[in-house]
Protein backbone atom coordinates (compact mmCIF):
# COMPACT_ATOMS: atom_id res chain seq x y z
CA UNK A 1 0.00 0.00 0.00
CA UNK A 2 1.33 3.44 -0.91
CA UNK A 3 2.09 5.86 1.85
CA UNK A 4 0.61 9.34 1.76
CA UNK A 5 3.09 12.10 1.03
CA UNK A 6 2.44 15.27 2.99
CA UNK A 7 3.98 18.70 2.84
CA UNK A 8 3.20 21.90 4.66
CA UNK A 9 2.35 24.53 2.03
CA UNK A 10 3.35 27.37 4.37
CA UNK A 11 6.75 25.78 5.02
CA UNK A 12 7.27 25.29 1.28
CA UNK A 13 6.35 28.92 0.69
CA UNK A 14 8.79 30.03 3.39
CA UNK A 15 11.53 27.94 1.79
CA UNK A 16 10.73 29.50 -1.60
CA UNK A 17 11.01 32.97 -0.05
CA UNK A 18 14.37 32.03 1.47
CA UNK A 19 15.59 30.73 -1.91
CA UNK A 20 14.58 33.96 -3.63
CA UNK A 21 16.25 36.02 -0.91
CA UNK A 22 19.45 33.98 -1.26
CA UNK A 23 19.42 34.47 -5.03
CA UNK A 24 18.95 38.20 -4.61
CA UNK A 25 21.70 38.52 -1.98
CA UNK A 26 24.12 36.47 -4.04
CA UNK A 27 23.50 38.45 -7.21
CA UNK A 28 23.59 41.80 -5.43
CA UNK A 29 26.79 40.97 -3.55
CA UNK A 30 28.55 39.84 -6.69
CA UNK A 31 27.41 42.81 -8.77
CA UNK A 32 27.99 45.37 -6.01
CA UNK A 33 31.03 43.88 -4.34
CA UNK A 34 33.13 43.44 -7.44
CA UNK A 35 32.52 46.65 -9.35
CA UNK A 36 36.24 47.38 -9.41
CA UNK A 37 36.77 44.27 -11.55
CA UNK A 38 38.19 43.62 -14.03
CA UNK A 39 41.41 45.20 -12.94
CA UNK A 40 43.30 47.29 -15.46
CA UNK A 41 46.41 45.72 -16.99
CA UNK A 42 48.57 48.38 -15.33
CA UNK A 43 47.72 46.84 -11.95
CA UNK A 44 49.89 43.86 -12.79
CA UNK A 45 52.99 45.88 -13.53
CA UNK A 46 55.37 45.78 -16.43
CA UNK A 47 57.12 42.52 -15.65
CA UNK A 48 56.94 39.69 -18.16
CA UNK A 49 54.25 37.72 -16.33
CA UNK A 50 51.98 40.71 -15.75
CA UNK A 51 50.13 40.42 -19.04
CA UNK A 52 49.57 36.69 -18.59
CA UNK A 53 48.34 37.22 -15.03
CA UNK A 54 45.98 39.94 -16.25
CA UNK A 55 44.58 37.55 -18.87
CA UNK A 56 44.16 34.78 -16.30
CA UNK A 57 42.32 37.13 -13.93
CA UNK A 58 39.95 38.06 -16.75
CA UNK A 59 39.22 34.40 -17.44
CA UNK A 60 38.61 33.71 -13.75
CA UNK A 61 36.24 36.67 -13.52
CA UNK A 62 34.30 35.43 -16.55
CA UNK A 63 34.03 31.95 -15.05
CA UNK A 64 32.93 33.42 -11.70
CA UNK A 65 30.26 35.52 -13.40
CA UNK A 66 28.96 32.46 -15.23
CA UNK A 67 28.91 30.41 -12.02
CA UNK A 68 27.12 33.12 -10.02
CA UNK A 69 24.60 33.72 -12.80
CA UNK A 70 23.90 29.99 -13.01
CA UNK A 71 23.54 29.64 -9.24
CA UNK A 72 21.15 32.60 -9.07
CA UNK A 73 19.06 31.05 -11.85
CA UNK A 74 19.00 27.69 -10.04
CA UNK A 75 17.88 29.32 -6.78
CA UNK A 76 15.16 31.26 -8.61
CA UNK A 77 14.02 28.09 -10.38
CA UNK A 78 13.94 26.22 -7.08
CA UNK A 79 11.81 28.97 -5.56
CA UNK A 80 9.39 28.79 -8.48
CA UNK A 81 9.05 25.01 -8.18
CA UNK A 82 8.62 25.23 -4.40
CA UNK A 83 5.83 27.80 -4.80
CA UNK A 84 4.07 25.68 -7.42
CA UNK A 85 4.33 22.67 -5.12
CA UNK A 86 2.99 24.67 -2.17
CA UNK A 87 0.01 25.85 -4.23
CA UNK A 88 -0.64 22.30 -5.46
CA UNK A 89 -0.60 20.90 -1.91
CA UNK A 90 -2.83 23.72 -0.69
CA UNK A 91 -5.31 23.10 -3.51
CA UNK A 92 -5.26 19.34 -2.85
CA UNK A 93 -5.86 19.95 0.86
CA UNK A 94 -8.79 22.25 0.09
CA UNK A 95 -10.24 19.75 -2.37
CA UNK A 96 -9.90 16.90 0.15
CA UNK A 97 -11.38 19.11 2.85
CA UNK A 98 -14.43 19.84 0.72
CA UNK A 99 -14.92 16.13 0.01
CA UNK A 100 -14.55 15.23 3.69
CA UNK A 101 -16.83 17.94 5.02
CA UNK A 102 -14.22 20.26 6.57
CA UNK A 103 -12.80 17.52 8.79
CA UNK A 104 -9.22 18.29 7.72
CA UNK A 105 -9.29 21.97 8.58
CA UNK A 106 -7.72 23.03 5.27
CA UNK A 107 -10.41 25.43 4.10
CA UNK A 108 -8.34 28.54 4.83
Question: Tens digit of pLDDT for each residue in 90-100?
Answer: 998 899 888 88
pLDDT digits (tens, 9 = 90+) for 20-64: 999 999 999 988 887 778 888 888 888 888 889 999 999 999 999
pTM of the model: 0.75
pLDDT number for residue 17:
98
The CA distance from 6 to 9, in Å, is 9
Say what the pLDDT of residue 70 is: 97
* Position 68 pLDDT exceeds 60: yes
Q: With 80 as the cut, is the pLDDT of residue 18 above it?
A: yes
Q: Residue 103: its pLDDT value, please?
A: 60
Cα dist. 67→27, 32, 35, 70, 96 in Å? Answer: 11, 16, 17, 5, 43
Q: Which residues contact 80 (CB under 8 A, 6 or more apart)?
A: 16
Complete DSSP assignment for 19-68: HHHHHHHHHHHHHHHTTTPSPPGGGG-SSTTHHHHHHHHHHHHHHHHHHH
What is residue 105's predicted lDDT score, i.e. its pLDDT? 59
In which band, very low, low, confident or very high, does the pLDDT at 6 lie, cut at 50, 70 and 90? Answer: confident
pLDDT of residue 35: 73
Amino acid sequence: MAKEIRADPAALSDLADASLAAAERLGDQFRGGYRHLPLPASTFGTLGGGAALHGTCGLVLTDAQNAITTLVAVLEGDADRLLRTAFAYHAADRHADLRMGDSRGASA
